[in-house]
Structure 1
Amino acid sequence: MTVHTPPPEGGRIVDEPMSEALSKRYLAYALSTITNRALPDVRDGFKPVHRRIMYAMHQMRLNPQAAARKCAKVVGEVMGSYHPHGDASIYDALVRLAQDFSQRYPLVDGQGNFGNIDGDNAAAMRYTECKLTAAAVLLMDGIDQNAVDFRSTYDDQDEEPIVLPAGFPNLLANGSSGIAVGMATSIPPHNVGELIDACHLLLERPEATTEELATIVPGPDFPTGGVAVEGHASILDAYETGRGGVRLRARWETEDLGRGVWRIVVTEMPYQVQKSKLIADLADLIENKKAPLLADVRDESAEDIRLIIEPKSRTVEPEVLMESLFKLSDLEVRFPINMNVLDASGTPRVMGLKACLRAFLDHRQEVLVRRAQWRIERVEKRLHLLEGLRIVFLNLDEVIRIVREEEQPKAVLIARFGLTEMQADYILDTRLRQLARIEEMAIENEYKELSEELANLQSLSSSPAKQWKQIGKDLEAVRKALVSPRRTTISEAVDTSAYAPVEAFIPREAITVILSERGWIRAAKGKVEDPSELKFKEGDSLAFLVPAYTTDKLLVAASDGRIFTIGADKLASGRGHGEPLRLMIELDEKADIINILAHQPGGKLLIASKAGYGFVAPEDDLLAQKRGGKQVLNGDLLAALRVTGDHVATIGENIKALIFPIAELPEMGRGKGVKLQNFKQGGLADVSVFNAEQGPEWADGGGRRRNWPDWKDWLGKRAQAGRQGPRGLRKFR
């Protein structure tokens, strides 16, 4: 029998509260996710996976002039040397860097199928090839010249850069997005020419305001183009605070087909909208009659985007059609702006436009100084060797003799000519034939050029003014290399109030709304003559049958006191079983449907609770704009009836009935109401509204309607106890 001894004191068992242990570990996980996955560095605009892909391709010498290599080779190098995660995530990041519809300035030159704007995936990594683009080379420029710090890789076998030199503001140029624990980032792409012009303004006047920068950078510049309709004030606020958003619309034009016939041609898609999904969504709008102005949509795209939208009537204005589609589909999207990044110290921060550009320029200054120091060291070393060569040239015959005849030529050279060990080694490592051919002019010219370069480098290292001037020159060279006209048009905010709502164009057609006991709703065309012929799912049956028109708004009253609003044109076709009502409104699972009726402008409803309280509510006040409906009654709703008469009849659970004029009830939008009938025990069983001329009716147990000729015997004042109802009266409906 094996005896397991416990670990020694201070061993693997740690005694600490569970809450503290969980908080420590979750905090460590959260920080790791924020810094190593989700948020980009403000200096080079990269997350670790993208930075490692760039560096691995640089190490593989996949420059623009080289032949492309298999993406599988690149992914394997990244995963094996720098990024110990799944190959799928690495390849997805690489593919995105190559997509010209995802990146404003692609950093990977992809050969093969790298996906498309329709949403099709890229081919497997074994089929595709890649290399760096000219823009990527600008981001890597100086990485081999001690421009940035390096750290050990995950296995301590190699080193990787902490940040790239970043020749242009890649964070803003290509944008970034990511979700971490408790925070997220969403940065739109911009035009690099405008960004560099903004950098020049900051170099000239560091105190320049965000408003001044926004005149140079008026807004994002998406790779897929489109029209930004957010408005200057809103974009300026986003640039100032680092948070906001921009509304982006598809670019479209009207194509005249003659004889008054026209159609819409969409030529540019909103950013990150899949064309195939957009077409499917537009087709669904047509199928479900949610886009009454739209007749057809089809895709005629080849290399360029060409999406055809045909109106249902030539009399509709193109602007009205497009405004309706902007509201109903992803032809207009809102791109959020949340400029949450890691600063130079690795701390998450939300930065505005000026702060991001300032951080980039500070990084470029540090890179410039470090590269200058690296070059100074090498120039000084070369000048030192050239001084030795000058001595050799002046005493060439003696040097040759010493090299050929002396047993220890190094020591002799040092002693005879006052050389250093480095100079002596360099001379001895040089072939005799080359020594003989050394020309004094060549040595002097190189010495002079390097001396001038050294003086300039030393002056540059010690003068911030010269450093900023050099940064400006470098940025101007980058601007010429990456110059590209703006693709996204910045437009003023669109006022849609001038356009009629899309409901105004819904054809008015008679329908019958069918709601089942289990909550499935649909709309049949015309009038349902025989409800018994309606078909339902097994175990389901008819609950409500409401005549209406496609232009109506439906009021759905629930037992929890809320009233929901649904457009009749949005109901599923009556051919099938419909769709669950709970998918259209946010109805609590415990709540039941009390009534459903078509809204009548100017109409009124009697709202009554199970506790016996009620009031009259104007229907116009009951319309809800949200799926959550409108809370109308404080209590359990028993009835929501249209006011079609001048008297109210109530019956309690104690079988006592009371009739009183409806004028005794207050008119209000929401609340508890006033007491309808007084009960010693129990509550309200049912309520009805009727006109005194016709008199009330009530339903007996057999489902037949019965008249109540002597109803005036129960006439009284509101809130009275009432008297025993007629024999058989339990409910009015």
Structure 2
Amino acid sequence: MSKDVIPQPHGGHIETIGLKPALEERYLAYALSTIMHRALPDVRDGLKPVHRRIIHAMRLLRLNPGQSYAKCARIVGDVMGKFHPHGDASIYDALVRLAQDFAVRYPLIDGQGNFGNIDGDSAAAMRYTEARMSDVSMWLLEGIGEDAIDFRPTYNEEDEEPVVLPAAFPNLLANGSSGIAVGMATSIPPHNVAELCDAALYLIAHPAATTDELVRFVPGPDFPTGGVLVEPHAHILEAYRTGRGAFRLRARWHKEEGSRGAYAIVVTEIPYQVQKSRLIEKTAELLLARKLPLLDDIRDESAEDVRIVLEPKNRTVDPELLMESIFKLTDFEVRVPLNMNVLSMGRVPNVLPLHEVLQQWLVHRKEVLGRRSNHRLQEIARRLEILGGYLIAYLNLDEVIRIIREEDEPKTVLMRTFGLSELQTEAILNMRLRSLRRLEEMEIRTEYDALQDEQKKLESLLASNQMQWKVIAREIARVKQAYDETSPLGKRRTTFEEAPSHDLEDIQQAMIEKEPVTIVISEKGWLRAMKGHLGDYSSLSFKEGDKLKLAFPAMTTDRIIVVSTGGRFYTINANVLPGGRGHGEPIRILVDMDNDQDILTAFVHEPDSRLLVASRAGYGFVVGEGEVVANTRKGKQVLNVKLPDEAALCRPIHGDHVAVVGENRKLLVFPLEQIAEMARGKGVRLQRYRDGGISDFTTFTLAEGLSWQDSAGRTFKRGLDELMEWLGNRAGAGRMVPKGFPKNNRFT
């Protein structure tokens, strides 16, 4: 006996198997079942098994358009009992979605009762609602009784269900699909069926057409809830080329003028699959959290149509900037994914580009046409055989009557006497007496000739590939005519626009409430933002051993530039600085500043200003403030310095001349134009020193004179004539400072 088989009492045994192969085998079976029979749609009819079974069950119940409705409980019961052995809740949820005109672009089911709404309210229980098929379902079923598709046994083998529907309607792209399988998912947004028909007709005429050509006919999705697509055309094209991508979809809004210059923004369409009630609730939460400072109020005035009213803070608020800030934070703008992962020809999961999806649908339609034509040929052959027997009977009517009256086995005698087939004999024996009229014989001859003509046409059709595509094109043209721009369902609902070209910085600032603050920086590098503009800094408290380094007024919407002694510039938004209740936070928590560097200075960023920066060794240059803004925590290296040298000064420029004073108390005045303007570097020499380095500099207008303050607060001023002694060129040594210059060698 094998060592892997353990003997058991009563003659049984347990076979040991490896856990890994057992798990792999069972999980693979589960994964394939989920992919094939639950999550992914078939590329041919765009349906998952549960949807296909619902439509098939409703067909058997004869719930056609124009017929009376049936209780959804009855439909769900038939689907669950005959075809889909899963929970009734999942079946009913699928049925409800097929009837929701805000969830499905072209509803497959015509519902009566409460089937939910765009607010997210669920449908009434299935015992209260009724349903029947819509015209779209009839397109999908067209030809199902003519051997157009295969049937397979149901789960209990008591009945049959269709493997796929004939699908004269391009349902996969028209209504879209979504689902999550094991290791893969699908997400296909809905499209306009008239545009799909145009693309299919072009593909029939040009079989080698690429996705790039077809996008001229299918420019993008068409959602049941409308909205505005702001995705660039190049991105849309790439998504359709690869079968993967995403689309930016925004709510549709317009500005409504009020009295005295006031206005309101009215949203009339919201993005696809966004619950209106949740959208308003989330926006209201952001409003209360003061993250939408341009917005004053939001209210829902919707009835049957969507109407969401947004009140701006005041009449001066730019409506586009307000909407951009709302789009950035809320689901008034969403990204709709595209992942055209489908069961290719019902068997192989595959991500297909646009032209492949349409091509496979057309191949399916061609197969359906061939099968229906062959089925009709078989019916014609059978009918012609019967009509041939009828004609023989009319020609020998008296003899036929005699045989039927007198013979014990009339069937056998008829077949032997006239050379009839069994089918023809059965038809003659089952013929009614009223059919023995002369007129009936003429009608049979007419029908016989007509069927022969139809038979020839069908045989010609099956023999000609070109004729088959012509018939398919006519069928597609019928669908397009039924859903053109003039039909209630046909008009495109989603339009295309370019997103307003607002600066990202403007949008960012629009989402910050503008309030005055005072930026406080301590000697040890602790930062905070005190509310309001403080006039007296003497009351500020600091940690033990620390004191005030600098403080200046700002607004919460400002950006603060912090300069380190290593010549690196950092950018911090004022609104992210800690409040003034504590001592703030160390600079190294907010930015990545090296431990051997300290804060040199800080100021409010003014994009149009220019700065003069200088190192301790007396090198410097002019730089625009737009060049020093850093987008990361690491900052931006502007002034290049090597130890023991370090950044010493950074000041805004006001004037046309520069006054530099060194630690040796020598002053030099020269034109500002002699200093190079650059974005990064070591700079040029400002003043030459034998020992020491730079102490201070200032910029001023020579015509107005140079001024400074002494330690007692007295102001001294020297005009052009009095400065002639110190005027020179950049990189000079300068002369000793004039009488009255502060002992600390500082201009302020």
Q: Does the TM-score normalized on the shorter chain lie above 0.5?
A: yes
Query: Which residue in the other structure is 1:35 paired with?
Result: 36
Tell me the distance in 1 between the aligned counterparts of 2:384 and 2:256.
Answer: 71
The 1:618–1:525 alpha-carbon spacing in structure 2 relative to 1, beyond 3 Å, is closer
Q: Against the structure 1 CA distance between its residues 499 and 108, is the aligned structure 2 distance closer, same or farther, given a 3 Å change threshold?
A: farther
Judged with a 3 Å threshold, the aligned counterparts in structure 2 of structure 1 residues 309 and 438 are, in CA distance, closer, same or farther, namely same
- Rounded to whole Å, the distance in 2 between the matches of 1:150 and 1:507 is 65
CA distance in 1, matches of 2:392, 2:133: 46
Are the equivalent residues in 2 in contact too, given 1:42–1:171 (CA < 8 A)?
Answer: yes
> What is the alpha-carbon distance in structure 2 between the residues aligned to residue 549 and residue 180 of structure 1?
51
- The superposition leaves residues 30-75 of structure 1 with CA deviations (integer Å, 9 ceiling, x where unpaired) of 2221112211111111111111111111111111122111111111
Which residue does the alignment assign to 1:304?
Answer: 305
SS in 1 for 2:166: coil
Equivalent-residue separation in structure 1 for 2:439 and 2:9 (angstroms): 74
Tell me what 1:148 maps to: 149
The normalised TM-score by structure 2 is 0.71
What residue is the counterpart of 1:91 in the other structure?
Answer: 92
1:310-349 matched pairs, under 5 angstroms: 310-344=311-345, 346-349=347-350
For residues 11 and 606 of structure 1, the distance between their equivalents in structure 2, rounded to whole angstroms, comes to: 72
SS of residue matched to 2:253 = strand
Structure 2 residue 445 is matched with structure 1 residue 418:
no
**Distance of 1:164 and 1:84 partners within structure 2:** 20
Residues 299-698 of structure 1 aligned to structure 2 (within 5 Å): 299-344=300-345, 346-436=347-437, 439-483=440-484, 484-492=490-498, 494-497=500-503, 500-504=506-510, 506-510=512-516, 550-551=556-557, 595=586, 607-608=594-595
Question: Matches of 2:585 and 2:311 in 1, distance apart?
Answer: 42
Task: Give % identity.
Answer: 55
Residue identity in the other structure for 1:312: K
Query: One-letter code of the match for 1:91?
Result: Y
Hey, what's the Cα distance between the residues in 2 that align with 1:8 and 1:511?
88
CA distance in 2, matches of 1:71, 1:525: 62
Task: Measure, in 2, the Cα distance between the counterparts of 1:146 and 1:551.
Answer: 70
AA matched with 2:444: I
How big is the shift at 1:551? 3.3
Quote the residue 1:49 is aligned against. Answer: 50
Q: Tell me, in whole angstroms, the C-alpha distance in 1 between the residues paired with 2:296 and 2:53.
A: 50
Amino acid of the structure 2 residue aligned with 1:406: E
Give the match's secondary structure for 1:177: strand
Partner of 1:698: none
**Hey, what does 1:73 align to over in structure 2?**
74
Q: Tell me the secondary structure at the aligned position of residue 67 of structure 2.
A: coil
What is the aligned partner in structure 2 of residue 105 from structure 1? 106
Q: Which moved more, 1:29-38 or 1:269-278?
A: 29-38
- In structure 2, the partner of 1:13 is 15
Kindly state the Cα deviation for residue 270 of structure 1 after the two structures are TM-superposed. 0.8
Aligned residue in 2 for 1:168? 169
Letter in 1 for 2:494: T
CA contact (8 A) 2:325 2:511 kept: no
Q: Secondary structure at the match of 1:337?
A: strand
Q: Report which stretch shifted further, 436-445 or 149-158.
A: 436-445
Give how far 1:566 is off.
9.5
1:685 corresponds in structure 2 to none
1:296 partner SS: strand
Structure 2 unaligned blocks of 5 or more: 1-5, 485-489, 520-527, 537-552, 562-569, 606-626, 636-645, 650-679, 681-694, 696-748
**Cα distance in 1 between the residues matched to 2:35 and 2:502:** 40
Deviation track 1:507-537 (CA, whole Å, cap 9, x = no partner) reads 4325799xxxxxxxx99976999xxxxxxxx
Kindly tell me: are residues 570 and 141 of structure 1, through their superposed partners in 2, closer, same or farther at Cα, counting changes over 3 Å? farther
User: Is there any run of 5+ residues in structure 1 with no aligned partner, and where?
Assistant: 514-521, 530-546, 556-563, 578-592, 633-642, 647-668, 670-691, 693-733
TM-superposition CA deviations, 1:299-332 (whole Å, max 9, x none)? 1111111111111111122212111211121111
Q: How far apart are residue 553 of structure 1 and its match? A: 7.3
Closer, same or farther in 2 for the Cα pair 1:508/1:318, shift >3 Å? closer
- Give the Cα separation in 2 of the matches to 1:442 and 1:295: 81
Q: Hey, what's the Cα distance between the residues in 1 that align with 2:378 and 2:218? A: 40
Counting only pairs closer than 5 Å after superposition, residues 256-271 of structure 1 correspond to structure 2 as 256-271=257-272
Shift of 1:433: 3.1
Deviation at 1:288, TM superposition (A): 0.7
Aligned to 1:225: 226
One-letter amino acid matched to 1:47: K
Partner amino acid, structure 2, of 1:501: I
- Does 1:278 find its partner at 2:279? yes
> After superposition, what is the alpha-carbon deviation per residue over 1:663-701, rounded to whole angstroms, capped at 9, x for unaligned?
xxxxxx9xxxxxxxxxxxxxxxxxxxxxx9xxxxxxxxx
> CA, structure 1 residues 566+290, in 2 after alignment: closer, same or farther (shift >3 Å)?
farther
- Look up the equivalent residue of 1:481 and give its one-letter code: A
Distance 1:295 1:76, change over 3 A: same
Task: Describe the superposition over 1:362-415 as per-residue Cα deviations: whole angstroms up to 9, x where unpaired.
Answer: 000001101111111111000000001111112222222222222221122222
Query: For residue 486 of structure 1, what is the amino acid of its counterpart?
Result: R
Say if 1:607 and 1:616, in contact at 8 Å, map to a contact too: no
Distance across 2 between alignment mates of 1:572 and 1:138:
64
TM-aligned CA distance change 1:305 to 1:42, over 3 Å: same
Instruction: Identify which range, 423-432 or 365-374, moves more after superposition.
Output: 423-432
315-324 or 352-361, which moves further after superposition?
A: 315-324
Equivalent AA in structure 2 for residue 388 of structure 1: G
Number of aligned positions between the proteins? 579
> Which whole-Å CA distance do the structure 2 matches of 1:606 and 1:573 have between them?
21
1: distance between equivalents of 2:265 and 2:576? 25
Q: Kindly state the Cα deviation for residue 5 of structure 1 after the two structures are TM-superposed.
A: 6.0
Deviation per residue, 1:520-566 (Å, 9 max, x gap):
xx99976999xxxxxxxxxxxxxxxxx996436799xxxxxxxx999
Q: Equivalent residue for 2:616?
A: none
Measure how far apart 1:21 and its partner are.
2.0
TM-superposed deviation, 1:594 = 6.9
Distance (Å, rounded) in 1 between the aligned partners of 2:600 and 2:416? 112
Contact (CA 8 Å) 2:592, 2:633: kept in 1 or not? Answer: no
Q: What is the alpha-carbon distance in structure 1 between the residues aligned to residue 295 and residue 589 of structure 2?
A: 26
Indicate if the aligned counterparts of 2:268 and 2:308 stay in contact, CA closer than 8 A. yes
Number of the residue aligned with 1:159: 160
Report the Cα offset of residue 495 of structure 1. Answer: 3.1
Alpha-carbon separation, structure 2, partners of 1:185 and 1:523: 49
Secondary structure of the 1:109 match is strand
Q: Distance in 2 between matches of 1:195 and 1:226?
A: 19
Q: TM-score, normalised by structure 1?
A: 0.72
Is the 1:145–1:371 Cα contact (8 Å) retained in structure 2?
yes
C-alpha distance in 2 between matches for 1:78 and 1:148: 20
CA distance in 1 between counterparts of 2:12 and 2:75 reads 45
Helix, strand or coil: the match of 2:454? helix
What value does the CA root-mean-square deviation take over the aligned residues?
A: 3.8
Mapped contact 2:578–2:585 kept (Cα < 8 A) = no
Q: Distance in 2 between matches of 1:171 and 1:572?
A: 53
Conserved in 2, the CA contact under 8 Å of 1:292 and 1:502? no
For the structure 1 residues 505 and 66, does the alpha-carbon distance in structure 2 shift closer, same or farther, using more than 3 Å as the test?
closer
Measure the CA separation in 1 of the matches of 2:300 and 2:648: 56
Q: Secondary structure at the match of 1:496?
A: coil
The CA distance in 1 between the partners of 2:578 and 2:304, in whole Å, is 37
Q: 1:44 to 1:262 in 2, by over 3 A?
A: same
Change (3 A) 1:300 1:345: closer
Q: Higher Cα Rg: structure 1 or 2?
A: 2
**Secondary structure at the counterpart of residue 381 of structure 2:** helix
Report the Cα distance in structure 2 between the residues aligned to 1:430 and 1:330, rounded to whole angstroms. 71
Closer/same/farther in 2, CA of residues 405 and 35 from structure 1, 3 Å limit = same
Structure 1: distance between partners of 2:122 and 2:254: 30
Give the CA deviation at 1:614.
Answer: 6.5
Q: Find the counterpart in structure 2 of residue 214 from structure 1.
A: 215
CA distance in 1, matches of 2:61, 2:600: 75
